[in-house]
């Protein structure tokens, strides 16, 4: 196998903001004392006059973003997922979500792959929280190519968007020459009719590896990448349920309320089939190297393979 | 202040108070006490100070007002109606199903409302964002944020206070309605936010105190605010909760209670008498 290029989607986020700064002259970027980590520092270097550090005050930052958006400018507000979706939840709901203001939230360091910082910073609940806000769009890109395209798509979209980026460098599997991002559309990456693996974020690459392993054992798995968790591409999910009869979801997020929850809610209403979830099983994380934690918490191809084998037995 | 203007503002403020009572009475719920305490302030701003156009409520260069103490929406709605943003009669639909006049301000549907508020402590941050945006693009509009004295117990207010001073938002004026009462009692007994003046000064704001119910003094305060460069201005207005309706004045119980039919009649007859005296 050729050398796989790895890159953290937070890097893609910061680079995309800087690269798009000329095309969007009214783009303002806010951060809360984490510009070096969220990578908005790259934008700050390119456009210092359009970057504002709000200090360690995420609640105020979200309100400031709402105010800026109300005047017609484009704005990104950035912090770690834990603070953007967690600490500032009610401001995001009431000051951004309720008036449906055009604020983009760039939330980095999502999930268990934060690593050594441990449970206080490993946010496995952000998708669930954001999904409950009416009118909130949620994008969780899988690699560098998708992340950069998603930032541009979010800027071209009118309305609040929550974007989830990771700290860990992950394989770049999309081809930037041919890749097209369509907001709200799932992407079928591999065909198969025995089972469907629906994955998001860094678990998409793991799902592809799992599908390869399963194929060698005679199980043909369809693989779908859901980068837009809300609004969910219900058509692609229902089609998968109808054609493959069983679904395994994979996400670096709690099994409660995330992609697995969204998929389960969709199929139970339209085409009930078993939905098995690979995710963080309603527990807190802990400190350790990100790669080791992902394995420990079952957020890896091996666990997807194991869960798929259980899942296909449930098919009627 | 010119005496004719002063009288006109007093007449309008009295009509605004009548609109507050009308709305809250018909809704059978709402917050009359704090609405009455900001009635003069909002009248002054919308009828004298602010550059707004009821026919063009989204006008780009308009001055903005964020009612951070969003529960006193009846006062904002009543002022907006008097100013011509919508019909005064619509105030009777306050809080009812199908009405635009939500329990707390809704910028998406009510003409003249510049920010959706209601969850305390949030409006001041949005006001900072509007002010910052104006600075970035060298717009000339002013931003007014109205806070309650109980509201400033919210930590977010002080995050915003820090941000406004750091960014030298001298196009922002925050008015703290210091009526001394919050739901559970006197602010000094619940969890005192005092001293308010010293706090804002310590956060880098220029602070002015004013009598909330004297248009001469209101004018003096805003004239002073106008002259301040390089820092945001906080006006601490000493007010009377329930101002203008005798039995509601300084009564904590009238924070979030609607008058019954008898109390409504009494309140309206008091306000009508005040209006007749002013117009007399």
Tell me the nearest-neighbour CA distance from A99 into chain B, angstroms: 6
pLDDT, chain B, mean: 98
- Residue A37 token pair: 């980590």
Is A172 exposed, middle or buried (CB count within 10 Å of its CB: 0-12, 13-18, 19+)?
buried
Tens-place pLDDT, residues B165-176:
999 999 999 999
- Closest alpha carbon within chain B to A56: B159
pLDDT tens digit sequence for A49-84: 999 999 999 999 999 999 999 999 999 999 999 999
| Nearest-angstrom CA–CA distance, B181 and B230 | 32
Instruction: Quote the ipTM score.
Output: 0.97
Confidence of residue A181 (pLDDT cuts 50, 70, 90): very high
Average pLDDT over residues B84-95: 98
Question: pLDDT grade, residue A151 (50/70/90)?
Answer: very high
Nearest to B99 by CA among B90, B107, B108: B90
CA-based nearest residue in chain B for residue A73: B133
Q: Do B124 and A63 touch (CB under 8 A)?
A: yes
A159 inside 8 A of chain B by CB: no
Q: Closest Cα to residue B153, out of B208, B183, B194, B185?
A: B194
**B91 near B78, Cβ under 8 Å?**
yes
CA A269/CA A286 separation, integer angstroms: 36
Contact assignment for A60 to B132 by CB distance below 8 Å = no
Average pLDDT over residues B134-157: 98
Contact B106 A99 (CB under 8 A): yes
CB contact under 8 A, B125 and A62: yes
Query: What residues form DSSP beta bridges with A74?
Result: A27
**pLDDT tens digits, residue range A185-229?**
999 999 999 999 999 999 999 999 999 999 999 999 999 999 999
By DSSP bridging, strand B181-182 and strand B185-186 are antiparallel
> In chain B, what residues touch A65 (CB-CB under 8 Å)?
129
**3-state class (DSSP) for residue B216:** helix
Strand order in the sheet with B206-211: B64-67, B143-148, B172-178, B233-238, B206-211
Q: Do B132 and A70 touch (CB under 8 A)?
A: no
Provide the pLDDT for residue B142.
Answer: 98
- What pLDDT does B190 receive? 97
A7 pLDDT more than 70: yes
Q: Which of B115, B118, B159 sits opposite A60 (nearest CB)?
A: B159
Q: Cβ of B156 and A55 within 8 Å?
A: no
Residue B125 distance to chain A (closest CA, Å): 5
Which of B107, B118, B160 minimises the CB distance to A63?
B160
B138 touches chain A (CB under 8 A): no
Specify burial of residue B91 (Cβ count, 10 A radius: 0-12, 13-18, 19+).
Answer: buried
Which positions in chain B touch A88 (Cβ < 8 Å)? none
| Catalytic residue flag (residue A58) | yes
Using the predicted structure, report yes or no on whether residue B249 has a pLDDT greater than 90.
yes
What does pLDDT average to over chain A? Answer: 97
pLDDT score, position A2 = 60
User: Is the predicted pLDDT of residue B55 greater than 80, yes or no?
Assistant: yes
Helices H, strands E: what count in chain A? Answer: 13, 14
Question: How many other C-beta atoms can be found within 10 angstroms of the C-beta atom of residue A233?
Answer: 21
Tell whether the torsion through CA atoms of B59, B64, B69 and B72 is positive or negative.
negative
* Window 3-62 of B, Cβ < 8 Å to A: 60
Determine, for residues B156 and A70 on separate chains, whether the beta-carbon distance falls below 8 Å. Answer: no
Q: Which residue of B has its CA nearest to A50?
A: B136
Q: Which residues of A touch B159 (CB under 8 A)?
A: 54-55, 57, 59-60
């Amino acid at each position: 196998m050729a050398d796989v290029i790895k890159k953290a989607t937070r890097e893609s986020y910061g680079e995309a903001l800087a690269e798009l700064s000329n095309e969007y002259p009214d783009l303002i970027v806010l951060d809360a004392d984490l510009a070096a980590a969220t990578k908005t520092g790259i934008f700050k270097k390119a456009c210092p006059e359009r970057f504002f550090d709000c200090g360690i005050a995420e609640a105020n930052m979200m309100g400031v973003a709402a105010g800026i958006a109300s005047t017609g400018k484009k704005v990104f507000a950035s912090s770690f997922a834990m603070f953007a979706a967690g600490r500032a939840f009610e401001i995001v709901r009431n000051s951004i979500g309720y008036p449906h203001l055009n604020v983009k939230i760039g939330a980095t360091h999502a999930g268990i792959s934060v690593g050594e910082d441990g449970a206080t910073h490993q946010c496995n609940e952000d998708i669930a929280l954001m999904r409950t806000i009416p009118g909130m769009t949620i994008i969780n890109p899988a690699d560098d190519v998708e992340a950069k395209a998603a930032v541009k798509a979010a800027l071209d979209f009118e309305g609040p968007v929550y974007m989830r980026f990771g700290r860990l460098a992950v394989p770049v599997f999309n081809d930037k020459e041919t890749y097209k991002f369509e907001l709200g559309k799932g992407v079928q990456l591999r065909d198969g009719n025995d089972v469907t693996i629906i994955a998001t974020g860094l678990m998409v690459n793991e799902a592809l590896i799992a599908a390869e392993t399963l194929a060698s054992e005679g199980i043909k798995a369809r693989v779908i990448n859901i980068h837009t968790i809300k609004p969910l591409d219900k058509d692609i999910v229902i089609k998968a349920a109808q054609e493959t009869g069983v679904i395994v979801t994979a996400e670096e997020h709690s099994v409660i309320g995330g992609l697995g929850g969204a998929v389960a809610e969709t199929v139970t209403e339209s085409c009930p089939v078993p939905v098995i979830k690979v995710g963080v099983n309603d527990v807190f994380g802990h400190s350790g190297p990100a790669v080791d934690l992902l394995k420990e918490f079952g957020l890896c191809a091996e666990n997807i393979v194991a869960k798929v084998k259980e899942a296909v037995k449930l098919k009627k | 202040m010119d005496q004719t203007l002063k009288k006109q503002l007093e007449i309008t403020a009295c009509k605004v108070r009548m609109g507050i009572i009308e709305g809250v009475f018909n809704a059978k719920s709402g917050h009359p006490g704090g609405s009455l305490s900001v009635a003069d302030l909002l009248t002054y701003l919308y009828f004298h100070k602010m550059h707004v156009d009821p026919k063009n409520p989204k006008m780009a260069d308009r001055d903005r007002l964020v009612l951070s103490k969003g529960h006193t929406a009846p006062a904002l709605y009543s002022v907006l109606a008097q100013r011509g943003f919508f019909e005064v009669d619509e105030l009777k639909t306050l809080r009812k199903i199908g009405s635009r006049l939500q329990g707390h301000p809704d910028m998406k549907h009510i003409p003249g409302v510049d920010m959706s508020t209601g969850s305390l402590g949030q409006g001041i941050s949005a006001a900072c964002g509007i002010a910052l945006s104006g600075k970035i693009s060298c717009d000339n509009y002013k931003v007014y944020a109205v806070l309650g004295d109980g509201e400033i117990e919210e930590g977010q207010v002080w995050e915003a206070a820090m941000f406004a001073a750091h960014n030298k938002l001298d196009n922002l004026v925050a008015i703290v309605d210091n009526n001394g009462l919050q739901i559970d009692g006197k602010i000094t007994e619940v969890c005192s936010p005092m001293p308010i003046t010293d706090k804002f000064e310590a956060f880098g704001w220029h602070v002015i105190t004013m009598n909330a119910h004297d248009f001469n003094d209101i004018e003096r305060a805003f004239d002073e605010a106008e002259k301040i460069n390089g820092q945001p201005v906080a006006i601490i207005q000493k007010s009377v909760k329930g101002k203008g309706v005798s039995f509601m004045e300084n009564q904590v119980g009238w924070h979030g209670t609607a008058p019954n039919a008898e109390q409504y009649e009494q309140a309206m007859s008091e306000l009508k008498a005040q209006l007749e005296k002013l117009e007399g």
